[in-house]
Amino acid sequence: MRKFNYRFVLNNVGILLMIEALFMLFSALIGEYYREEARQAIYLSSGITLLAGSMLTFANRVLAFAGMEQDNRKRSITKREVFLSVTLAWVALALAGTLPYLLSGAIPSFTNAFFESMCGFSTTGSSTIDNLETFPRSLHFWRSFSQWIGGIGIIIFVMSFMPIYSGGASGLFFDAEATGIAMEQVKPRVREIARNMFLIYFGLTLVGFFLLWAGPMDAFDAACHTLSSISTGGFSTRQAGLAYYASPYSEYVIIVLMFLGATNFMLLFALVTRGSLAIFKDEEFRWYASIILLATVGIAVSLFVTHRVGDAESSFRTALFQVVSTVSSTGYTTVDYQAWGPIYSLLFLGLMLFCGCQGSTSGGIKVSRLLVLAKNTQLVFKRQVHPNALYRVKINGKVIPENTTSRVMAFAFLYVTLAAVSAWILSMTGMTLDESIGVSFSSISSLGTGLGSYGPGGSYASASAFAKYYVCFLMLVGRLEIFTVLSLFVPSFWKR
Amino acid sequence: MKIVIAGAGAVGTHLAKLLGQENHDITLMDEERERLSSITETAEVFTVIGSCTSPVDLAEAGASSADLFIGVTPEESRNMISCMLASSLGAKKTLARIDNHEYLLPKNRTFFEKQGIDSMIYPELIAAKEIAMAINNPWTRFMWELRGGKVYLAGAKVRENAPIVNLYLKELMQVTKQFHIVAIKRGADTLIPTGKDQVLKNDIVYFTTLRENMGVLPTLLGKSSFEAKRIICMGGSRITERAIGELPPHIQVKVIERDRERAEQLVEVLPSNVTVFVEDGRNTEFLLREGITEADAFLALTENSEANILGCIMAKQHGVRKTVAEVENIDYIAMAERFDIGTVINKKLIAASKIYELLLQADASNIKCLAFADANVGEVIARPNSKVTKKLVRNLNLPPDITFGALIRNGEPMLVEGDTLIEPYDQVVVFFLNRALKHIEHLFN
């Protein structure tokens, strides 16, 4: 029997922390540029993180030297080590991410700093900060940058540069962090795919930055908003959010960025590099676009007819912005749609359940899973009439293996159950009915905009400490797509 | 012409017999003595026992001096390798039977030619095309497009209630000029009819017609045309797969396959208008539940010829109007036709006639032939000053086993009648029984 490979886990968490320390230096550079005091705190954070990381990797060496653990052979790595590594790495990432906030004193409470950090890395975009206008710029950048790292996933990010994971393990790592179902079938070429996804991500970020800069935003705001919208995170540098700029141009650019952030990066890569039109034939993309179109047209027409937000263009823009922001799980808002009535709030609650495409930065159950669930349900009805027929769920003309279908059903079951139970738990912390439901659904789908006082323009400042930590847990589970984290709590996962 | 055929299976044997009749120098090679022994008794064919992938055996069979080498063993890769070897030994042309439609794509063509494989034939695909043609024109037994769809050659059974029954062909010519009967199959005999012949009930008449006349033909033959919308297909073979690919996508198809693993494969590749069932196609209760009484066509394409024939008979009893059976056992074909099975498909005969056609193209003459029933169809170009251009068709005194079906003049198709005068460079569609080839050469050159 094989023993659990602790050394592997220690080593991985250590390496990722060292890389995070490097990322922090980018924020420090911003601090240097604006001559902010916070830069000292960031240098210190970076140093501490680097030290912690190197200690972990050093511990790995010491253990190996002392012979306390078995030889770190590459093939003795299983899902157990990988899932634990990824979960711990994300927790460590969020923990280290609190340092700049704490040491600079910008967010004095550890609870709030951890909440802010997790909202960043999980690309949820909720916040407890209510003085964004006076918040140091270097820390603004750190918030948005953490979303950018969390959007594509730090492991995919690292994998695309460094050959730190060997063949088999990299596939498992990719599974644990990437979004969607088809990702489970790409193992042999994961490094190449990770690199392609990152290239698209980086390219979109650059283009987005220049487009936003061309509008009323200054370079700094443009950079932060680009990082937060392409990662479908949703942090803003302004207390009033995007409404501050009152610029239709900026809103349209951000709509495009959020829309692209929630599409399948592998198909985008094929479109950009090879001119492949596969993305337009992809069933998931078509459904994703159709859902957005349908919801936008419906809301725009009803807004225009009831004269809630002004002329036809602004009705359309407001509707499109809210729908894309919700479906992509970004969470930016330009208006408080709760004021329009519960029919809209419930519609957005439904939209946040499924969100974007697989292989994107968005959260939620994903449209591809929705497709599998819907098609499978249709087949259940068909089978009643034709018991001898051999029906299989097909997407893009390809049969989805039964195994995958049952995984998708388990995923959806867990997702909805967890959201429902979480709403009930949150209601015990003093939230109202709509608040607890809104917070639970929007956290697990990494959207961040719930209902009630946690809705558009709201803040988590008033939530209890327990609620904040619980929401952090939900965000992590949602970002790593349920199984990675929850597997660790299932006894049979550990049984030999 | 010297021809070497590798593989004495059904296709190879049939081909050897067919070609042996025309004074070609035929060598048939196979590894198994028993398979070769039956043919030496019936036809004048030289046989060689040996492996078609062994250069020594190929040389012994005379592949180095062959004008044509044909690889028709059951295995695709053996056929291809034997063609490559034969070509390197010096065979002028090679032809391989294949199992993969990708090889036929134009982009792959030059590659295979470079490897020494000049042509390839995929019998399942040809069979599938015939099935699709039969489904799209359910009133015919079979149907061929000639000249890229300008002229059609079709065969259909004459019903008792048909307006043309018992008419003499010369009377028929006065009633309608919309089609030209070129051959009649009565029982086991095929005849090239003249004006003095009569159309009888239950004859299978073969006629040429132009595209615009297709609509009126079913009524003349006592049939009604209908569009097949629901098809039940027994057996999920490769022909099934290809045939569904050839059919219009709005047709509802139910495929019944006994083997679960094969059924899973079919679900993977077939489009969404097809439903696959795991069941025995002979289970009547199941067929009734799945609506065989409402089906427009029944395709029986399992590997079991008997089951296919019985399946079609049963489908007929349940009122299915069009039935297609794959009958691989050549001896059963006549029987299947007697049981009124709409269209009988035989992969081997299809393959053999296709190869025969390619072969005649390779020949220097300008005659291109298709073998159907027991007669041949050829396209011949009339040379200037040839005998055929001098007189009206009725005054040519054509031999009794030749008739002209249609002609293409400057790209325009027309049917040939008694008072047609053939002009130089007309492309004439000629029907003839075997052995009449010499007369044709004489008339046209």
> Which tokens go with A234?
């949703």
Strands B93-97 and B68-71, sheet pairing: parallel
Q: Which of A381, A388, A391 has the most B C-beta neighbours within 10 Å, making it the best mutation to test the interface with B?
A: A388
DSSP element (H, E) containing A395: strand A394-395
| Helix-helix angle A283-305:A342-354, to 10 degrees | 170
The greatest distance separating any two alpha carbons of chain B, rounded to the nearest whole angstrom, comes to: 67
Instruction: Give the residue from A184, A241, A200 showing the smallest Cα distance to A404.
Output: A184
The pLDDT tens digits of the residues spanning A88-116 come to 999 999 999 999 999 998 899 999 999 99
**DSSP assignment string, B194-209:** -TT-B--TT-EEEEEE
Q: Which residues pair with B380 in a beta bridge?
A: B428
Q: Are residues B339 and B409 in the same domain?
A: no
Distance CA B328, CA B346 (A): 5
Distance separating alpha carbons of residues B378 and A63, to the nearest angstrom:
87
User: B294, B316, B345 — which closes off a domain?
Assistant: B345
CATH number, domain at B325? 3.40.50.720
- Copy the structure tokens of residue A371: 């497709």
Residues B296 and B380 in one domain: no
B345, B366, B391: which is the final residue of a domain? B345
DSSP three-state, residue A122: coil
Mean pLDDT of B328-340: 80
In a domain, B126, yes or no: no
Among B121, B122, B146, residue whose Cα is nearest residue B133: B146
Contact state of A390 with B268 under an 8 Å Cβ cutoff: no
Pairing of strands B375-381, B427-433: antiparallel
Residue A319, by phi and psi: left (phi above 0), alpha (psi -120 to 50) or beta? alpha
- The secondary element (H helix, E strand) that includes residue B71 is strand B68-71
- Which pLDDT score, from 0 to 100, does residue B397 have? 78
Better-predicted residue by pLDDT, B172 or A152: A152
Same domain, B308 and B382: no
Question: Who contacts B334 (Cβ-Cβ below 8 Å, separation ≥6)?
Answer: B188
Residues of B in contact with A392 (CB under 8 A): 264, 267-268
Q: How far is CA A340 from CA A98, A308, B32, B282, in A?
A: 37, 8, 85, 63
The secondary structure of residue B164, as a DSSP letter, is: T
The owner of tokens 């679960």 is B260
- Spatial neighbors of B275 by CB under 8 A, at least 6 apart, are A386, A389, A391, B252, B253, B254, B255
Kindly state whether residues B340 and B265 are assigned to the same domain: yes
For residues A250 and A212, what is the distance between their CA atoms, to the nearest angstrom?
Answer: 6
To probe the interface with A, which of B232, B259, B261, B276 has the most A CB atoms within 10 Å?
A: B276
Residue B128 lies in a domain: no
Sign of the CA dihedral B211, B215, B221, B223? positive
Query: Among residues 232-261 of chain A, which lie with CB inside 8 Å of chain B?
Result: none
Owning domain of residue B150: 136-220
- Report pLDDT for B373: 55
Quick one: pLDDT at residue B212?
A: 77
Q: Cα A138 vs. chain centroid, distance in angstroms?
A: 22
Q: How far apart are CA A64 and CA A58, in angstroms?
A: 10
**Which of chain B's residues have a Cβ under 8 Å away from the Cβ of A388?**
277-279, 286, 290
Domain CATH for B192: 3.30.70.1450
Cβ-proximal residues to B425 (8 Å cutoff; 6+ apart), any chain: B381, B382, B384
Q: Can you tell me which residue has the tokens 């975009």? A: A125
> Do B109 and B6 share a structural domain?
yes
Share of chain B above pLDDT 90, in %: 21
Q: Tokens representing B282?
A: 């002979």
What distance in Å separates the CA atoms of residue A66 and residue A68, rounded to the nearest whole number?
Answer: 5
A388 contacts chain B (CB < 8 A): yes
Q: What is the pLDDT of residue B359?
A: 67
For residue B77, name the pLDDT band (cuts at 50, 70, 90).
very high
Please report the pLDDT score of residue B368 as a whole number: 46
| Cβ neighbours around A239 below 10 Å, total | 17
- Would you call B278 and A388 a contact, using CB atoms and an 8 Å cutoff? yes
Assess whether B6 and B117 both reside in one domain: yes
- From the list A386, A388, A392, the residue facing B267 with the nearest CB is A392
As to burial, measured by CB atoms within 10 angstroms (0-12 exposed, 13-18 middle, 19+ buried), residue A219 is exposed
Structure confidence at residue B338 (pLDDT): 77
In a domain, B339, yes or no: yes
At residue A188's C-alpha, the angle toward residues A182 and A192, to 5°, is 85
Instruction: Output the pLDDT for position B426.
Output: 82
In this predicted model, which residue has the larger pLDDT, B343 or B41? B343
**Cβ–Cβ below 8 Å for B260 and A390:** yes
Cβ-based burial of A232 (10 A; exposed 0-12, middle 13-18, buried ≥19)? buried
Residue after which a domain boundary falls, among B121, B150, B169: B121
Residue B357 pLDDT > 90: no
- Residues of chain A neighbouring B272 (CB-CB closer than 8 A): 394
pLDDT at A494: 82
Say which of A388, A391, A399 has its CB closest to residue B268: A399
Q: How many CB atoms within 10 Å of residue A202?
A: 15
Residue B131 included in any domain: no
Confidence band, pLDDT 50/70/90 cuts, at residue B360: low
Test mutation, B255, B266, B277, chain A, max A CBs within 10 A: B277
- Burial (0-12, 13-18, 19+ Cβ within 10 Å), B328: middle
How far is Cα A163 from Cα A191, in angstroms, rounded to an integer?
8
With contacts defined as CB-CB under 8 Å, which chain B residues touch A396?
none
Asked whether residue B412 falls in the same domain as residue B323, the answer is: no
Q: Which residues of B touch A394 (CB under 8 A)?
A: 267, 272
Say whether pLDDT at B137 is over 90.
no
> Which tens digit of pLDDT belongs to each residue from A240-280?
888 888 889 999 999 999 999 999 998 899 899 888 888 89
Q: Are B276 and B255 spatial neighbours (Cβ–Cβ below 8 Å)?
A: yes
Residue B111: inside a domain: yes
Residues B340 and B382 placed together within one structural domain of the fold: no
Which is higher by pLDDT, A160 or B53? B53
Q: What's the half-sphere exposure (Cβ side, CA atoms, 13 Å) at B366?
A: 13
B129 within domain boundaries: no
B212/B295 same-domain check: no
Question: Which residues of chain B does A389 touch, with a Cβ-Cβ cutoff of 8 Å?
Answer: 275-278
Flag whether B158 is in a domain.
Answer: yes
Which of left, alpha, beta for A372 (phi over 0: left; psi -120 to 50: alpha)? alpha
Asked if A385 has any chain B CB less than 8 Å from its own CB, the reply is no
CB burial of residue A361 (10 Å; 0-12, 13-18, 19+): buried
Evaluate whether residue B7 is within a structural domain.
Answer: yes
Taking only the tens place, the pLDDT of each residue in B12-23 is 888 888 777 767
User: Average pLDDT of B167-184?
Assistant: 78
Mean pLDDT of chain B: 83
Q: Spell out, as residue ranges, where chain A has pLDDT lower than 50.
A: 1, 74-75, 183-184
Model confidence at B215: pLDDT above 80: no
CA–CA–CA angle B238, B244, B247 (5° rounding): 145
Say yes or no: A375 contacts chain B, CB-CB below 8 A: no
Shared-domain flag, residues B106 and B181: no
Q: What are phi and psi of B299, to 5 degrees?
A: -110, 125
What tokens does A492 get?
């049979």
List of chain A residues whose C-beta atoms are within 8 Å of the C-beta of residue B249: none
pLDDT at A322: 93
Residues of B in contact with A399 (CB under 8 A): 264, 267-268
Q: In the prediction, which pLDDT does B444 show?
A: 73
Query: From B289, which residue of chain A is nearest by alpha-carbon distance?
Result: A386
Q: Is A51 helix (H, G, I), strand (E, B) or coil?
A: helix
Give strand pairing partners of B48.
B29
Residue B100 has a pLDDT of 85
- Calculate mean pLDDT across residues B134-163: 78
- Number of domains into which chain B is organized: 4
- Same domain for B341 and B354? no
The answer on B325 and B271 residing in a single domain is yes
For residue B432, the distance in angstroms to the closest alpha carbon of chain A comes to 48
Average pLDDT in the B224-248 region? Answer: 88
User: Do residues A138 and A35 lie in contact, with contact meaning Cβ atoms separated by under 8 Å?
Assistant: no
Distance of CA B433 to the CA centre of its chain: 16
- Calculate how close chain B gets to A385, using CA atoms only, in Å: 9
Check the CA dihedral B318-B320-B323-B325 and report its sign.
negative
